Amino acid sequence: MVSFPMSAFLCVAVLCGVTLVSGQSVPGGFCQCTCPDGWANFQDRCFQYIATKKTWTDAEAHCVSLGANLVSLHSKEEHQFLKKLIRSHDLNENPTWIGLSDCQKLKAWFWSDGSKADFFQWNSGEPNFVNNGECCVHTNWSKQKNWNDIPCRYSYPFVCSFRMDTRR
């Protein structure tokens, strides 16, 4: 019989989001501590590049069907990881949808996964809100290969992501 110290058990339980009651796990919890096949891991999230071109809305719906959302970015490190992920699938680094939008209210940016918009990597002169008709965002725009606001009706490849502790 293999025995583990209670501290190791609690660490795994906390990392995996298992609820404990008197040292017992509550039924129905399943720990997804690694990314599924076809998904890349960075920190506590899984990412998948989808080469099929879709509108922003259709891309988000596709991600939701996978238990994810269009990617949200919260640091320079995540942005660099995303650029490498895109480059590994598209050597030309073409524009790619991310989950940022201000469609509900001009200049009130939000991520489709509900997380706080606390990091931005705009190209120079962006966002420019041309005719107030650019409320979705893609990355890899122009020579700088950073973010650009653009109408949601255009079709681009996209990246989905989910947090490992929220997917069951």
Same domain for 8 and 91? Answer: no
Residue 168 lies in a domain: no
Rounded Cα distance, 29 and 71, in Å:
25
Above pLDDT 70, what percent of the chain? 80
CATH number where 42 lies: 3.10.100.10
Residue 10 lies in a domain: yes
Residues 122, 9 contacting (CB under 8 angstroms): no
Same domain for 100 and 140? Answer: yes
Same domain for 139 and 99? Answer: yes
pLDDT at 21 over 90: no
Same domain for 9 and 79? Answer: no
pTM of the full structure = 0.80
Q: What is the pLDDT of residue 32?
A: 53
Q: Could you report the per-residue pLDDT of 102-133, keeping only the tens digit for each?
A: 999 989 999 999 999 999 999 999 999 888 78
Averaged pLDDT for residues 134-145: 94
Rounded Cα distance, 99 and 27, in Å:
33
Identify the residue with better confidence: 141 or 1: 141
Q: What is the pLDDT of residue 131?
A: 81
Q: Give the count of domains, the chain.
A: 2
Q: Could you report the per-residue pLDDT of 48-97, keeping only the tens digit for each?
A: 999 999 999 999 999 999 999 999 999 999 999 999 999 999 999 999 99
Above pLDDT 90, what percent of the chain? 72
Residue 48 lies in a domain: yes
Residue 71 lies in a domain: yes
Same domain for 95 and 142? Answer: yes
pLDDT at 13 over 90: no
Residue 53 lies in a domain: yes
Q: Which domain holds residue 79?
A: 35-163
Per-residue pLDDT band at 167 (split at 50, 70, 90): low
